[in-house]
């Protein structure tokens, strides 16, 4: 007769199926077992592959129109895994000067000291003659990271044009699809080699987990990035994997409402004297509208605008019943963030609003009231 502990361990591993999927409960130590024949197993160790990731990754690959996807621990992990697998000393990377600030920080603080040349370009310059000149003289393997619509400027770049420029000099195009999501934009179809994104935002959508993913259709690129994930250990935990997979099922409905709310909010702000420089790619008068219309299926849930000062922003949020002051975005609640607090190159009163899934009329009435009380 085995001891109590042995009996307990054997009791929970009653079905010896290698790599059984994570169940809905918090059972984090799944019964991974090797088969008798060495070298034939798929799921030998969870850091390299596991069935939970495969469920999520096949859903993400299908949404991005990719042949494969890799789930990772956060959007930043997606960026760093992709860049570390592509770049080495002597190479060149181009990053947006007006995109997510931590990507610039990573390039400057980590890649530059490794001997990688870092260039920053505005999103609107990524397909310009300036970019062409830079790419023509860049040393080593060149990787261009484009983020469109950029967070927080919401500027948009023509991805077909950037990809043609990259292709003509053999550069690799990595597109951050966080703000648009694969429901709003298909970067691989537009010519990107790799998609990176934060799933912390709209795709998971409940502001309750961190995750990221990489998607691509080139088997060699996917293998290199999968190897980097396994060696660096930048993985997604089983519970987040399950939660993200479960949440994807409602992403379409949530996104549809977020886009409708964003368009209605942008139209209100545009006509309101308290708000200036309203940006939303879906507004017909927005400088990005034509390019966005040509490459986006819908325009996303983010709207930006300017108040004169930080104080007006704080009074605006305090005067609203629905707006929550928070820095992440893409969740079911409408949130507002004053980006200058994070050091983004924007004026003090620059506000980015992420529209939630509240009823459009309720959101508009609430924001109108808060604006009028300023």
Ligand X SMILES: Cc1ncc(COP(=O)(O)O)c(C=O)c1O
DSSP state at residue 67: S
Binding of residue 187 to ligand X (CB under 6 A): no
Binding range to ligand X, per CB under 6 A, among 124-132, 176-184, 232-240, 260-268: 176-184
Binding range to ligand X, per CB under 6 A, among 14-22, 38-46, 74-82, 237-245: 74-82
The nearer residue to ligand X, 63 or 268, going by C-beta atoms, is 63
The nearer residue to ligand X, 76 or 370, going by C-beta atoms, is 76
Work out how close the CB of 56 gets to ligand X at its nearest, in angstroms, rounded to a whole number.
15
In this chain, which residue has its C-beta nearest to ligand X? 75
Binding of residue 209 to ligand X (CB under 6 A): no
Among 19, 49, 80, 100, contact with ligand X (rule: CB under 6 A): 100
Q: Which residues contact 311 (CB under 8 A, 6 or more apart)?
A: none
Binding of residue 200 to ligand X (CB under 6 A): yes
Binding of residue 149 to ligand X (CB under 6 A): no
Work out how close the CB of 322 gets to ligand X at its nearest, in angstroms, rounded to a whole number.
22
Instruction: Please name the residue ranges forming H helices in 45-100.
Output: 51-64, 75-86
The nearer residue to ligand X, 244 or 268, going by C-beta atoms, is 244
The nearer residue to ligand X, 44 or 200, going by C-beta atoms, is 200
Work out how close the CB of 201 gets to ligand X at its nearest, in angstroms, rounded to a whole number.
7
Q: Please confirm whether the linkage preceding 273 is cis (ω < 30° from 0).
A: no
Residue 212 backbone phi and psi in degrees, to 5: -145, 170
Q: Are strands 142-147 and 117-121 parallel, antiparallel or unpaired?
A: unpaired
Binding of residue 178 to ligand X (CB under 6 A): yes
Give the C-alpha distances (Å, rounded to integers) separating 56 from 22, 245, 254: 12, 5, 18
Handedness of CA 235, 237, 240, 243 (dihedral sign): positive
Work out how close the CB of 105 gets to ligand X at its nearest, in angstroms, rounded to a whole number.
11
Say how far apart CA 92 and CA 117 lie, in whole Å. 5
Q: Which residues contact 37 (CB under 8 A, 6 or more apart)?
A: none
Binding of residue 210 to ligand X (CB under 6 A): yes
Q: Which residues in 261-285 are b (16+ Cβ under 10 Å) and which e? A: bbbbbbbbbbebeebeebbbbbbee
Among 176, 193, 228, 306, contact with ligand X (rule: CB under 6 A): 176
Binding of residue 151 to ligand X (CB under 6 A): yes
Work out how close the CB of 11 gets to ligand X at its nearest, in angstroms, rounded to a whole number.
38
Among 19, 52, 75, 349, contact with ligand X (rule: CB under 6 A): 75
Binding range to ligand X, per CB under 6 A, among 17-25, 71-79, 163-171, 306-314: 71-79
Q: Give me the residues paired with residue 350 across strands.
A: 306
Helix (H) or strand (E) holding 216: strand 212-216
Q: Which residues contact 82 (CB under 8 A, 6 or more apart)?
A: 174, 194, 196, 214, 225
Work out how close the CB of 61 gets to ligand X at its nearest, in angstroms, rounded to a whole number.
19
Binding site residues, ligand X, CB under 6 A: 74-76, 100, 147, 151, 176, 178-179, 198, 200, 210, 212
């Amino acid at each position: 007769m085995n001891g109590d502990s042995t009996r307990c361990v054997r009791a929970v591993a009653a079905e010896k199926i290698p790599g059984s999927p994570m169940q809905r409960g918090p059972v984090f130590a799944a019964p991974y077992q090797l088969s008798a024949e060495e070298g034939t197993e798929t799921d030998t160790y969870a850091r390299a592959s596991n069935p939970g990731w495969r469920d999520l990754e096949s859903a993400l690959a299908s949404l991005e129109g990719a042949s494969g996807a890799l789930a990772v621990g956060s959007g930043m992990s997606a960026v760093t895994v992709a860049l570390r697998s592509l770049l080495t000393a002597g190479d060149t990377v181009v990053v947006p000067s007006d995109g997510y600030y931590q990507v610039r920080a990573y390039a400057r603080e980590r890649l530059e000291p490794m001997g990688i040349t870092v260039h920053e370009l505005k999103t609107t310059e990524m397909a310009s003659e300036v970019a062409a000149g830079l790419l023509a003289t860049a040393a080593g393997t060149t990787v261009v990271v484009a983020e469109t619509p950029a967070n927080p400027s919401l500027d948009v770049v023509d991805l077909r044009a950037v990809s043609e420029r990259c292709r003509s000099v053999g550069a690799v195009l990595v597109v951050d699809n966080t703000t648009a999501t694969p429901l709003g934009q298909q970067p691989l179809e537009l010519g990107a080699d790799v998609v990176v994104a934060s799933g912390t935002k709209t795709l998971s959508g409940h502001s309750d987990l961190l995750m990221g993913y990489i998607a691509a259709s080139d088997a060699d690129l996917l293998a290199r990035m999968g190897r980097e994930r396994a060696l660096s250990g930048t993985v997604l935990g089983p519970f987040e994997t399950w939660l993200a997979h479960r949440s994807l099922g409602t992403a379409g409905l949530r996104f549809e409402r977020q886009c409708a709310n964003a368009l209605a909010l942008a139209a209100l702000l545009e006509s309101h004297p308290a708000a200036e420089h309203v940006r939303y790619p879906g507004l017909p008068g927005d400088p990005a509208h034509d390019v966005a219309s040509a490459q986006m299926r819908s325009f996303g849930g983010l709207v930006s605008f300017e108040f004169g000062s930080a104080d007006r922003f704080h009074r605006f949020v305090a005067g609203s019943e629905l707006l929550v002051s928070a820095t992440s975005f893409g969740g079911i609640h409408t949130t507002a963030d004053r980006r200058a607090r994070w050091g983004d190159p924007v004026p003090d009163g620059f506000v980015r609003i992420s529209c939630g899934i509240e009823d459009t009329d309720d959101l508009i009435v609430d924001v109108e009231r808060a604006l009028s009380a300023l």
